[in-house]
Amino acid sequence: MAIDFEIPAEAKAIRAKVRQWVEDECRPAEKKLLDGADYKTTLAELRKKARAQGLWCPFIPKEYGGMGLGPLANALVQMELGESYLGALSMNTQGPDDATMLTLLQNGTDYQKEKFLKPLLNGEKRICYSMTEKAAGADATGMQTRADKKGNDAYILNGEKWFSSAASVADVALVMAKTDPNAPRHKQFSTFLVELPNPGYKIKRNIPTMALEGPLSHILGGGHAEIEIKDLEVPAENLLGGEGNGFNMGQHRLAYGRLRHGMHNVSMAQRALDLAVAHITQRTTFGKKLDERQAVQFMLAECATQIYIARLMILHIAYKAEKGMDLRNENGIAKVYLANMVHKVVDTAIQLHGALGYSRDTPLAAWYTHIRSQRLVDGPDEVHKWTTGRNVIKAFKETGTTAKACGGDLL
Ligand SMILES: Cc1cc2nc3c(=O)[nH]c(=O)nc-3n(C[C@H](O)[C@H](O)[C@H](O)COP(=O)(O)OP(=O)(O)OC[C@H]3O[C@@H](n4cnc5c(N)ncnc54)[C@H](O)[C@@H]3O)c2cc1C
């Protein structure tokens, strides 16, 4: 009996619709913005159209106004969106809001869902996630921000955060802080919903980064803020998921949240390769078209291989998610692979464009500087590889073979 790689007709149809959507609406709207159109008006028009076509919050359940897609259909949709900066935004499935919507959906009280989740789902508000501090990132248990109880009605937070993406355009911040320094390491932290702007949550600056600054950088949520938290009073009803559960609650961030960028990378890499091939089929050097050179064909083959592996990884993980299987090991492997894959493909596309690739006349330079962050965010490469390596050893010790940690479920 053969493995069935056939994608269900319904999921195929949604993918085709989203592919068309990005092509017909997002890319032209992106161009309009670069030509000076107003961001808010353009995005509002785009979102209105998307919603009218049923393209809205892909993985959010229907009863909450989303498309209610399962892991496979969602993965197929997300894999289309990375072609345009407006892809995910147009369907209200941009980070960091999307994973945070899930956190609220799973852990919010009725009050929190009504007050904070609803406007997010309606696209009326945006949310950011403040965990990382200068003091601690990869090992977030080193966070220093404190939350002290003020009677039974409130908490007072003091500390600092940095690299909170989209904080300067957010209406709400999800802030992690230490509530019990004496609890076991992963039970010391809690998560709070903070309404913005707020004098206790002071955005000191958007940190200049290596990503190219364009007219859209900050409004699209590309800014990463450094924040001072000083005597920030948060009502107790804004504690999310109970005291000490800050880390436990983030589990889905380790699954979908960690792969979201990777899914978008597939379409970005695909478009980069398309651009490269469009270029080399036109360009002649030393009396021959570039596409006739075997060295160039090998470069394309390497990119094609990596994009293919990337698709298979995502689809396999989606399959495991559909079946409710443990996907943590594959997820960590894929997170690293997908970040490096897009890097390799965009870099190759730049190389094949020559100086044009280095210019800003194509989107490649902006992508190149933008995607470098992916080997750091949501856990740096080394931390994931560390875990994967330990899983390999564990599998061997348990079963006498490392297969289980190497996609062995497929065997
Ligand atoms: C563009 C961007 C957006 C971000 N957005 C957000 C956000 O919205 N909210 C938020 O809270 N945070 C955000 N972050 C922060 C991000 O999650 C952290 O940068 C990341 O977790 C790494 O932490 P760090 O920068 O403190 O590096 P460190 O923890 O200091 O690690 C530095 C390096 O040390 C190495 N390393 C660390 N641990 C190990 C190990 N065990 N073994 C081997 N090597 C190791 C890795 O190479 C790592 O890159 C963002 C970061 C970037 C760059």
Q: What is the DSSP string of 288-343?
A: EEGGG-HHHHHHHHHHHHHHHHHHHHHHHHHHHHHTT---HHHHHHHHHHHHHHHH
Whether 140 is in a domain gets the answer: yes
pLDDT digits (tens, 9 = 90+) for 112-148: 999 999 999 999 999 999 999 999 999 999 999 999 9
Residues 70 and 168 in one domain: no
Q: What is the pLDDT of residue 255?
A: 64
- Residue 131's alpha-carbon distances to 226, 241, 242, 265, 389, in angstroms, are 11, 16, 17, 24, 26
Arithmetic mean of pLDDT, 368-396 = 95
Whether 111 is in a domain gets the answer: no
> Which of 222, 243, 264 represents a domain boundary (last residue)?
243
Residues 276 and 391 in one domain: yes
- The length of the chain in residues reads 411
What percentage of the chain carries pLDDT values higher than 90? 79
Atom 44 in ligand 1: residue holding the nearest Cα: 382
Q: What is the pLDDT of residue 346?
A: 98
Number of domains in the chain: 3
Kindly report each contact of residues 282-287 with a partner whose C-beta sits within 8 Å and lies 24 or more positions away, as own/partner: none
Whether 352 is in a domain gets the answer: yes
CATH code for position 193: 2.40.110.10
Residues 402 and 299 in one domain: yes
Task: State whether the beta carbon of 104 lies less than 6 angstroms from ligand 1.
Answer: no
Task: State whether the beta carbon of 382 lies less than 6 angstroms from ligand 1.
Answer: yes
> Which of 93, 108, 137 represents a domain boundary (last residue)?
93
Q: What is the pLDDT of residue 141?
A: 92
Indicate if the pLDDT at residue 220 is higher than 70: no
Residues 216 and 291 in one domain: no
- Which ligand 1 atom lies nearest to the CA of residue 128? 8
Residues 183 and 294 in one domain: no
- Which ligand 1 atom lies nearest to the CA of residue 375? 49
Residues 266 and 385 in one domain: yes
Residues 282 and 398 in one domain: yes
pLDDT digits (tens, 9 = 90+) for 65-96: 999 999 999 999 999 998 888 999 999 999 88
User: What pTM does this model have?
Assistant: 0.94
CATH code for position 30: 1.10.540.10
Residues 254 and 239 in one domain: no
Residues 208 and 82 in one domain: no
Six-digit token pair at 293?
């050179």
Pocket-testing residue among 132, 145, 264, ligand 1, by greatest number of atoms within 8 A of Cβ: 132
Residues 271 and 376 in one domain: yes
Q: What is the pLDDT of residue 232?
A: 98
4 — pLDDT class (breaks 50, 70, 90): confident
Residues 267 and 385 in one domain: yes
Q: What is the pLDDT of residue 82?
A: 84
Whether 116 is in a domain gets the answer: no
Q: Which domain holds residue 80?
A: 9-93
